[in-house]
Structure formats: C-alpha cells, structure tokens
C-alpha cells in the first residue's frame, strides 16, 4: 500500500457469503481499483469463519481483507456490535453492505460519526426484495446493477433514496483481444458458471438441455462451475452425461481459473428465471465468447444483440435453447465473429474503464449525503428505522434476551449522540414481514376464498420453520406434511408434522406448498396424495402477488 492509499478514506465492502459469487467478486474488484475516492477494504462477516473458507473465496487474494466473526448462537445485536467494532477499527467513512442487513444496521449506528451507507443492490427476486424491505430505509445513497432492479426496489421500499445512477453493474476486466480458442476443436464447448440452485438459476434445466443436444446429434462438452443446494440433484439428473464424459462438474473455482475456463469454451450458458445483472454473462463476453441466456437474466437481456453477440431464449424451454445451439454448433466462423462482437459489447458496457467513473460518482454521492438524524425528532425516526431492520434480521429467532440486547445498542447509540430521554426509545423490534410471509398469507387467502377451512402445509424444512409464527396464528392450519416426517423433530408453529400417508386422517381441503427450491417437485408430489384438496404454491405466482397492478401503477 502506498502513501496515497493510506491517506484515502476507507470504504468497507461487507460480505457474508463466501465462495465465488457476484457479490464477493464485486468486493474483490473494488479492492483492486486505485482511482476511486476511497480505498475499499472487504470485510467478511459470519459465525466461526474459517481462514481456509476465506482463502478459497473470490476475496482470498485481497491484501487488506478483514474478518469480523462471532461464535455460533450469538444474538443479532451481538453480531451487529461485532461488525460495528470492525468498522470503527478500520476507520470506515463509507460502507457498502450489499445484501448484509446486519452490516447496514451497524453502519447506520455510526452515521452520526460521519459513516455513510451506499446500498449497491445486486439480488433479484424475493431474496433481493427482503434486503430492501429490511434495510433500504437506512441507505444514504442507492444504486442497482440494472435499471429494472432499481425500479423494483423502489416499489418495495418507498423511503429508499432515488438511484444516484441509472444502473451500476459490477465491472469486469476485458482483455485486449478475445482469449485464444482451443485449436482444432470440433466439439461445441459449453460452460455454465454460477450458483447451483433450482429456483432462480434453474440449473436442473441443464439436464434436459443435454438430452436435447444428444437427440439432435450435437457433439458437445459442458463444464459446470459452481456449487449450491441443487448440486447433488443436478449430478443425479446428469448421471448419463457425466458417465459418457460429455459433462464435467468443477465445483467452485477462483476468479483467475474461471476466466481461463471461459477462454477454453465456445458459448456461455445461463438459464435463470430471475437475475439482477449476472456477472457470469459479463465475464464470458469479456473473454470473447457469445452467450446463450434466458429472458430472466435481468440487465444482460438489454445488453445482448440477438444473433450478434449472443442469443436470448424463453425461460424454462431447454428445447428452444438446444435448437439454437444445434444451429450454430458447426459454424466455427460464426462463433468466432460473435465472440469478437461479444467482447466489444463487454468493453462498452462493463469494463473497468467504462464503469470506474460511475463507481466514483456513487461513492461521492453517498459521502456527500447529510446525517438524516441531526435533530432529536429525526434521531428518533432513524432509531425506528434501525429497530425495523433489527426486527427483519431477527425474524423468528427471538427470545427473552433480544430486548435486553437491543437496549445495550440503544444506550450506546444514544450516549454517543448525547440524546436526551433515550429511555423513551423503544427496544422491542417489530415483526417485519418477509416475502415468504406475504406469499404465505396470500396463498391462505386464496384457499379461504375457495371455502377451505382445514389446511395443511407441505414441507417441514427451513422455509416452513421460518414461517412458524404465521402458521401459529392460523387455526385453520391443521398439520405440517413432510415426506420425511419420521426424521423431523418436534412441531412447527405448534402444529404436528405428519407424513403424506397420514394426511388423509386430517381431511384437508387445502394444501400450501412451502418451499422455494423444491416447489415444483413438492407441487407434483402433493397431487398424488392431496385428493380433491386445492393446492396453492407460494412462488409460482409470486410476481402477481407481490406486485399487483394497482401497486405498479402507484
């Protein structure tokens, strides 16, 4: 670090999830830039963080990396105080919490010391909605990786500041020329890079895509880079292709390896249902490779020119994607030409040279923002926003100690502000409805409108347990049905856990499918045991439930 870097104010970029993700890569990219108004220091936060996990992540080679860790079982407020202490130690002037609500709260508690929060929004779908709903009102400045994502966030939280830029994707390094191709290859080499999950990424569509390519006589090789909750299921679905050597699964890889892998392939794939601005698309195109993506790929859809630097296909239609790939599989000259155009697009839209000035604008906008709590009345409102975010972060993890822990944070914050009558500030965090809770209530309402009054919830996993308070409030919910009921301990929302074979004894007339990753599977299974009962999923119609027409018009 040179003297100039030491004299710059510090911006702390907070990362709760490790591995190779868009957010961790964003932190690593920011830390490597030297023309910003701040020196960016990534701060990895979480319980019992292992050094090796950090080293294996995209942040592993960042020289100024800092860690704020706490023991498993620490309360929400203890976690906030740990992050707050790290910010003080680093002398932070600016904080980018990304999707870490705890980091946004810690930064907000230091606003009176001059700390400002830039909320750079990456996460699409209901996951992103919940971050905005929890902590959006604590931001001093806001920007999203794509314009549609920014618009959606502003619908979710009206107190969110107006975006300081139209959009701000994560910048990528663009080589001077497309990376060299594998010489003499007559096999269509495909690469998927991203989290392995069913819902947003729809990675299980890779299996029927491979089946369709084989049926069309296409000679191909697919490399899958990444990890996630659907890995084992994807491996099982691809078993015949793995055994035949047409597919390989490389797991998580460091950014340098990922960049070289793009160069060793012909086309990048992304089959997502929901994205903000997928970094994998920008990186693949920066390497000089076209991409085949779905219409759910957020900001990338607006960037790609069909047939010039990539192809855009419908979500959930691997047959259509197979048709498009089959039509170009033998056209090496076309793929080379499209790769050159893809790199031109990447340089124009996502290169460090292109986005460096935008990053500086966003940083400066946040640092220039005033303290929103300068007067006593405004300070009380600021505390109410912090308490709201604490309630969202705590969720159902509430016990008798939570209020006393919040009181510690309140008293510390009020003393630093010399705030009179601090004892009158509340310490009971409100219950903040998540997207899952909103969708659950919506599904129950639909079932009640059909005359259902004996309802069961299908699925006893973490998703349902997070809804335990909602379940406990509704006497019409009779039980929780789970395929592995014998292995599920205890009750959920004061309701017994029973197997599908036992459900008939409850005489259900309505079923709510409670899962985000496995909704399609459970929906199909429910039809085998639910008889004449009405079945309602939570996420299949989430967009209409969360963004009704009247809300969009407003």
Q: What is the pLDDT of residues 115-149, one digit of tens each?
A: 999 999 998 888 899 999 999 999 999 999 999 99
pLDDT tens per residue across span 190-230: 999 999 998 889 999 999 999 999 999 999 999 999 998 89
pLDDT at position 74 is 93
Q: What is the pLDDT of residue 261?
A: 95
Question: What pLDDT score was predicted for residue 124?
Answer: 86
Helices (H), 91-179: 101-108, 125-135, 147-156
The pLDDT of residue 18 is: 65
Nearest-CA neighbor of 411 among 73, 100, 109, 43?
109
Residue 305 forms beta bridges with which residues?
A: none
pLDDT at residue 54, as a whole number: 83
Nearest to 196 by CA among 157, 229, 155: 229
pLDDT of residue 554: 36
pLDDT of the residue at 311? 97
- Euclidean distance between CA atoms 285 and 299, whole angstroms: 14
pLDDT value at position 551? 43
For residues 494 and 50, the model is more confident at 494
Give yes or no for residue 547 having a pLDDT over 70.
no
CATH topology of domain 188-350: Rossmann fold (3.40.50)
Give the confidence band of 1 by pLDDT, cuts at 50, 70, 90: low
Q: Kindly report, residue by residue over 404-414, the tens digit of the pLDDT.
A: 999 999 999 99
| Helix ranges (DSSP H) in 8-159 | 22-32, 51-55, 76-90, 101-108, 125-135, 147-156
Task: Say how far apart CA 512 and CA 224 lie, in whole Å.
Answer: 34
Query: What share of the chain in percent tops pLDDT 70?
Result: 96
Confidence of residue 439 (pLDDT cuts 50, 70, 90): very high
Q: Determine the pLDDT at residue 71.
A: 94
Is the domain covering 3-171+359-371 a CATH 3.40.50.2000 domain?
A: yes
Q: Which CATH number fits domain 435-546: 3.40.50.2300, 1.10.3720.10, 3.40.50.720, 3.40.50.300?
A: 3.40.50.720
pLDDT tens digits, one per residue of 222-242: 999 999 889 999 999 999 999
Give the span between the Cα atoms of 370 and 93, in whole angstroms.
Answer: 13
Within the chain, which residue ranges are assigned CATH 3.40.50.720? Answer: 435-546
Mean pLDDT of 479-498: 91
pLDDT of res. 546: 72
pLDDT band at 63 (very low <50, low <70, confident <90, very high): confident
pLDDT number for residue 393: 93
Confidence bin at 19 (pLDDT 50/70/90): low
> Is the pLDDT confidence value at 486 over 90?
no
Per-residue confidence (pLDDT) for residue 552, from 0 to 100 = 40
Please check the confidence at residue 477 and state whether its pLDDT lies above 50.
yes
Q: Rounded CA gap, 364 and 100, in Å?
A: 21
Q: pTM value?
A: 0.91
Average pLDDT, the chain: 92
Strands 39-47 and 66-70: parallel
**CATH 3.40.50.2000 residue ranges for the chain:** 3-171+359-371, 188-350
Q: Starting at the earlier edge strand, list the strands of the sheet with 510-513.
A: 497-498, 477-481, 455-458, 510-513, 534-537
pLDDT at 185: 74
Give mean pLDDT, residues 379-399: 90
Quick one: three-class SS letters along 242-255?
HHHCCEEEEECCCH
Residue found by looking up tokens 């160069």 in the block: 263
Residue 553 has pLDDT above 80, yes or no: no
Beta-strand runs (E) in 112-271? 116-121, 141-144, 188-193, 220-225, 247-251, 267-270
Q: What is the pLDDT of residue 17?
A: 65
Q: Are 436 and 126 in contact (CB under 8 A)?
A: yes
| CA 323/CA 288 separation, integer angstroms | 22
pLDDT at 92 over 80: yes
């Amino acid at each position: 670090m040179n003297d100039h870097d030491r004299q710059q104010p510090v911006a702390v970029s907070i990362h709760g999830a490790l591995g190779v993700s868009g957010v961790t890569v964003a932190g690593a990219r920011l830390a490597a830039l030297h023309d910003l108004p701040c020196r960016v220091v990534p701060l990895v936060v979480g319980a019992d963080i292992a050094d090796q996990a950090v080293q294996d992540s995209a942040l592993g080679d960042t020289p100024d990396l800092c860690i704020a860790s706490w023991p498993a079982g620490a309360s929400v407020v203890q976690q906030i105080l740990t992050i707050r202490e790290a910010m003080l130690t680093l002398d932070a002037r600016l904080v980018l919490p990304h999707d870490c609500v705890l980091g946004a709260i810690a930064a907000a508690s230091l606003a009176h010391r001059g700390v400002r929060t830039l909320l750079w929004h990456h996460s699409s779908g209901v996951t992103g909605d919940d971050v905005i709903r929890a902590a959006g009102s604590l931001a001093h400045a806001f920007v999203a990786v794509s314009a549609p994502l920014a618009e959606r966030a502003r619908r979710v939280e009206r107190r969110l500041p107006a975006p300081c830029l139209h959009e701000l994707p994560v910048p990528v390094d663009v080589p001077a020329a497309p990376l060299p191709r594998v010489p003499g290859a007559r096999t269509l080499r495909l690469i998927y890079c991203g989290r392995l999950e069913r819902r947003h990424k729809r990675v299980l569509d890779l299996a029927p895509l491979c089946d369709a390519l084989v049926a069309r006589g296409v000679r191909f090789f697919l490399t899958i880079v990444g990890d996630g909750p659907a890995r084992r299921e994807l491996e099982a679905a691809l078993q015949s292709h793995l055994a035949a050597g047409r597919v390989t699964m490389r797991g998580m890889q460091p950014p340098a390896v990922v960049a070289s892998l793009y160069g060793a392939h012909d086309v990048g794939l992304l089959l997502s249902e929901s994205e903000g601005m997928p970094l994998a698309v920008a990186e693949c195109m920066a390497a000089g490779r076209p991409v085949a993506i779905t219409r759910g790929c957020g900001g990338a859809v607006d960037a790609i020119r069909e047939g010039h630097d990539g192809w855009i296909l419908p979500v959930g239609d691997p047959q259509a994607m197979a048709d498009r790939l089959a039509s170009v599989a033998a056209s090496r000259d076309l793929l080379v030409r499209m790769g050159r155009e893809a790199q031109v697009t990447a340089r124009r839209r996502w290169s460090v040279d292109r986005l460096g000035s935008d990053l500086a604008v966003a940083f400066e906008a946040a640092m220039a923002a005033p303290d929103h709590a300068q007067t006593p009345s405004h300070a009380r409102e600021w505390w109410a926003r912090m308490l709201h975010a604490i309630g969202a972060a705590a969720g159902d993890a509430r016990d008798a100690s939570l209020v006393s822990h919040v009181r510690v944070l309140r008293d510390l914050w009020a003393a630093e502000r010399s705030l009179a009558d601090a004892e009158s500030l509340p310490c009971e965090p409100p219950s903040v409805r998540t997207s899952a809770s909103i969708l659950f209530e919506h599904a129950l309402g639909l079932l009640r409108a059909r005359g259902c009054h004996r309802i069961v919830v299908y699925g006893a996993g973490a998703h349902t347990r997070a809804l335990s308070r909602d379940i406990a409030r509704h006497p019409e919910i009779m039980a929780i049905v789970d395929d592995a009921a014998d292995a599920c301990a205890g009750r959920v929302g004061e309701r017994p856990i029973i197997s599908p074979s036992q459900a008939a004894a409850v005489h259900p007339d309505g079923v709510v499918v409670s899962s985000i990753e496995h909704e399609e599977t459970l929906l199909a299974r429910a039809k085998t045991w639910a008889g004449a009962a009405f079945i309602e999923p939570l996420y299949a119609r989430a967009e209409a439930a969360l963004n009704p027409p009247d809300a969009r018009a407003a």
